[in-house]
Amino acid sequence: MDDRMTTDLGQRLKDIMAEEIFPRVKEMKAFVAANPPGARPAFMADLKHMARQEGLWNLGLPNLPDWAPGTRLSNAEFAPMAETLGWVDWAAEVFNCHAPDLPTMEMLVAIGTEAQKETWLKPMLEGQICTGFSMTEPDTASSDARNIATRIEDKGDHWLVNGHKWFTGNRGVPGWSFTVLIGVSDSEASDYAKHSALIVPVDLPGVHVVRDIPVLGFSHRARPHAEVVFENVRVPKENLLGERGKGFVAAQVRLATARIHHCMRSIGGAELMLSLMCERAGKRETFGRAIADHGKVQEFVALSRIELEQARLLVMNAAEALDAKGGKGAQAEISMIKLAVARTCYEVADRAVQIFGAMGMTDDSPAADFLASMRALRIYDGPDEVHVRTIARHEFKTQASRHPDGLLQYFCTDFSDRSRWSAS
């Protein structure tokens, strides 16, 4: 897209956030507290209609079919807008570019059959239905996805699913229609060919929602995560998403871009924390002066600004790498941002809690909820330790390729060189 057009879209998005979404934050909070998990106030429909009228619908889907409504922004173009949306945790839904729906739409665009696109993608692009993603399991160590135990059995005319998942998103949200499930379809195959991806309608017999899951004590009532048991669920054969035995390949379609979006939205949330920190610090006094005048508070603000600028540049670099090289080619860059952004935003959130004091530990400010979310981000989409390993392996490989003869011989003493002994 032309740079001027992208800039214009970004400014219109900021204007809508300031004029239409910020003023409704408290109203949404009150509605969510008073209604069943996942319920939506009437004004959401009005905001979505406005977003479509403004040409800000289906942001962040660069490869849409010709018939689909959307802006077709690249990852690098969408990333700053994702940051803008991150200031309010429900804002992305207004523009139909929220998790887990946006990554699922990416999967359907990339590997869905024409029938699947007609049945599932079209209504998602219209904002009529929403989805979950069922990969993580409570009984297995999900940092190694090969541990996934949910079974997908081929019964000839249907698939039979048995398993236990949790953190399946969107439960209770109007239009919650299906989940993309990853399970074992070929137990005798090699580790990375055992699993398949399956579209499982949530109204099928045998799909049991056990509970909504609080995260570090916070119940995400606006977009609940569910624990779900799949008990002898008969799924139509045509609901296989992608190729049989390539469930991990299917999952990677969503994970690369989802991590870009998560990271930029998190930076947006951290920018909100920094703005609130500064305002709070200017209005509160201790020992006869504003806390903004205390050196430690100034250090909190300065470090937060530096770290957020660094994180943003790292994510923009990853977004450009993803556009240029695809998910596999940009794997190291994406792991870097997943690690760095989660840690940076957690630190900013922790400082915000400290500056807000007692209020920072309650739901009377957004600081505690954001702190919990950023702590969870260090586990979501792969824990920090997995990404450290990915980055390190990539770096060892890169250095070996860049300097095949090594550099130690030029910069370090060779203690095996006996000619040194006679030099004295």
For residues 251 and 197, the answer to whether their CB atoms sit within 8 Å is yes
For the cut 70, the answer to whether the pLDDT of residue 263 exceeds it is yes
- CB atoms closer than 10 angstroms to residue 309: 11
Lowest mean pLDDT among 14-18, 219-223, 226-230, 297-301: 219-223
Using the predicted structure, report yes or no on whether residue 219 has a pLDDT greater than 80.
Answer: no
Question: What percent of the chain is modeled with pLDDT above 90?
Answer: 87
Task: Tell me: pLDDT of 126 over 80.
Answer: yes
Q: Are strands 289-290 and 176-184 parallel, antiparallel or unpaired?
A: unpaired
Backbone angles phi, psi at 382, to 5 degrees: 100, 120
Bridging pattern class, strands 158-169 and 151-154: antiparallel
Q: 161, exposed or middle or buried, with CB in 10 Å at 0-12, 13-18, 19+?
A: buried
Does the pLDDT at position 422 exceed 80? no
Give the pLDDT mean for 240-256.
Answer: 93
CB-side exposure of 232: number of CA atoms within 13 Å? 0
Tokens 């910069």: give the residue: 411
Instruction: Render pLDDT for 185-202 as a digit per residue (tens, 0 to 9).
Output: 999 999 889 999 999 999
What is the average per-residue pLDDT within 215-239? Answer: 90
User: Which pLDDT tens digit goes with each residue over 325-347?
Assistant: 998 899 999 999 999 999 999 99
Q: Topology of 248-402 in CATH?
A: Butyryl-CoA Dehydrogenase, subunit A; domain 3 (1.20.140)
Confidence band, pLDDT 50/70/90 cuts, at residue 251: very high
On the question of pLDDT at 246 being above 80, the answer is: yes
Separation CA 10–CA 7 (nearest Å):
5
pLDDT in the model for residue 146: 87
> Quick check: 5 pLDDT over 80?
no
How far is the C-alpha of 87 from the C-alpha of 414, rounded, in Å? 55
Residue 208 scores a pLDDT above 90: yes
Q: Where in the chain is the domain with CATH 1.10.540.10?
A: 3-125
Give the CATH H-level superfamily of domain 131-245: Butyryl-CoA Dehydrogenase, subunit A, domain 2 (2.40.110.10)
351-364 residue pLDDT tens: 999 999 999 999 99
Determine what percent of the chain is predicted with pLDDT higher than 70: 99
pLDDT band, very low/low/confident/very high, at 423 (cuts 50, 70, 90): low
Q: How far from the centroid of its chain's Cα atoms is residue 336's Cα?
A: 14
pLDDT (0 to 100) of residue 115: 97
Mean per-residue pLDDT of the chain:
94
Angle at the Cα of 376 from the Cα atoms of 95 and 216, rounded to 5 degrees: 110
Domain 3-125 has CATH 3.90.950.20: no
Return residue ranges of the chain for CATH 1.20.140.10.
248-402
Which pLDDT band, with edges at 50, 70 and 90, does 424 fall under? low
User: Using 50, 70 and 90 to split pLDDT, how confident is the model at 90?
Assistant: very high
The reported pTM is: 0.94
With a cut of 60, say whether residue 269 has pLDDT above it.
yes
